[in-house]
Structures are given as structure tokens and as C-alpha cells.
Chains A and B, each alone.
Chain A
Amino acid sequence: MNPDLTEREFAATPPYLVGREKVREFARATLATSPLHHDPAAAQAAGYADVVAPPTFPIVIAEATLQQLLAEPDAGIDFSRVVHGDQRFTYSRPIVAGDELTATLRVTSIKTLGGNSMVASESTMVDAEGAHVVTSVSTLVVRGDDS
């Protein structure tokens, strides 16, 4: 693992338009049956403009920032050896269909422990007005050859 990654500046991802069908697809994939995720009328009755994304939906957008990290030629990350260590989402407001979100990645720390590397990063996601919506914080563990 390249420790210099923590000092690197990553470009903001292209705007991600949250689609109603994508929210429904992600909800089905996470066994989320609440009408808030599927039925625009139910979401509107609860005060939302459209269907509400499930709490872990931002991982779809964080995936774009992960690809940025893996694409760094000197990152040295073998994806088949990557396991997820921890994950957190901290919201300013829920995500709803129609939102246009832009994510900016920052690698916050890289540690090596017993042959494994731990990469901590955060993706800050803002809406089309530039207002904060959610921050995704995660640690990826890159398992060493002998573990």
C-alpha cells in the first residue's frame, strides 16, 4: 500500500442523479420493503418529494470513489483481497429520488497491521446546491498474501 494516498486530492465525481427505479432496485436488493422506498405517494404523504433511499444507498455513489482509489496506478490494491472493515453514514437529510449528488473522496489514514493494510477514507456527498447530504466513512482491509 502506498502511504502517500492520504495526501492525494481526488476530483469530485460526476453528479449522480438518484433515480426512482434505482432506489426501488436497491431497496429490493437489501430486502427493504417499506413503502417509503417504493411508493411515491407513500413517500409524499410522509413529506418527501419522491421515494426515499434506504440508509445504505450512498454506497452506490461511494462505489465511484472506490473506483477512483483502485484506479490510482500506484495504489497497489488487489480488489479480491479487499474486505470491508467498518462503515458509517452520517446524514444531514435523507436522500430522495431526484437528488443529484456529487462525492469527494479523501483517504484519511493507511495503517499496516500483521501483514494487512487498513485504508480509512471518507466520501462527502453534496446536492446540486452544494449542501451536505451525507458523509460515508469506511475502512477497507487489504489482506496480505499470508493471511
Chain B
Amino acid sequence: MSLADTLNLEVGQVVAEQTFALSRDTLVRYAGASGDFNPIHYRDDVAAQVGLPGVLAHGMLTMGVAVQPVVDWLDGRGWVSDYQVRFTRPVVVDPAAGAEVTVTATVGVIDDAGARIDLTAVYDGQTVLGKAQVRISAH
């Protein structure tokens, strides 16, 4: 049985949706865990100096968070064998209010190897990732 059969997938089906709250604390934690200490992710003065609208979430934090609904939904029944995104808009993280990112995961393609799950990630009413595609495969 193919992975798509096991998971009972249909193209267009929404398999997961989740909203994540990002705060400055989240950014600092991610900087430490990832080793990406670019100051645009924690210093307002540096962000302003290089012409950014504010302190930005690491693109890799958004990418890392956006795939989690797929991992949770899969629950070990398959694995993420390929994952790609384009960073199309920055996520500005307000020092007090933070930022909310809502992720929707939809079945894009089903084939013998497994399936492609397409993600949308929305912040402040606009998508922040383009061509966000997760390839899931059977073990």
C-alpha cells in the first residue's frame, strides 16, 4: 500500500492548520539553538540602521516552525525527505506584541514515492513563504 493510501490522502485536502505565536524570546532562543546570531534578529538599532522595518524573525525559524504541523500530523507514519521554501516577506516581531504566523498544510501532489504537501504561512494577512513544499515518503 502506498503512503497516500495508508494516510487516505486526496489532492487538495487540508491535513493540518496551526497558529504559532513568535516573540522576541522565541528569536533569542532560536538564535542560541541554531547559532545564527545575526543582530537583525534581536537588535532594533541594527535593524533600523540597515533599513529594515524592525527586528525580523530568522527565516529559518519560520521555515522550521512551518513544517511542524506536518510532522505532528504524520506522527511517524512517514518522514520528511525534502523540504524547501522561498522567503518572500519578512516577519517583523514587535517587542511587546510579537507576531503570529498561521500555517496551513494541503496535499499538493500524490505519487508512488509519497506525496507533496504544500504549506502556506500567513503573517499580518500576507504569505511569508513561497513555494513551501514538503515531500513526505514512506519509511
List chain B residues, Cβ under 8 A from A54. 64, 67-68, 71
Is the Cβ of A87 less than 8 Å from the Cβ of B60? yes
In the bound complex, residues from chain A placing their C-beta under 8 Å from that of B139 are 47
Closest to A32 in B: B68
Q: How far is the CB of B103 from chain A (nearest CB, A)?
A: 11
Asked if B109 CB lies within 8 Å of chain A CBs, one says no
Residues of A79-127 at the interface with B, using a CB-CB cut-off of 8 Å, are 79-91, 94
- Say if the beta carbon of B51 comes within 8 Å of chain A: yes
The answer to whether A29 touches B51 (Cβ under 8 A) is no
Interface code A19-60, partner B: CB below 8 Å = 1, 0 otherwise? 000000110111111101000001000110000001110011
* Chain A positions near chain B (C-beta within 8 angstroms): 25-26, 28-34, 36, 42, 46-47, 54-56, 59-60, 63, 79-91, 94, 137, 143, 147
Instruction: Give me the interface of B with A, judged by CB distance under 8 Å.
Output: 20, 26, 29-30, 32-36, 38-40, 46, 49-51, 56, 58-61, 63-65, 67-68, 71-72, 75-76, 79-87, 90, 131, 134, 139
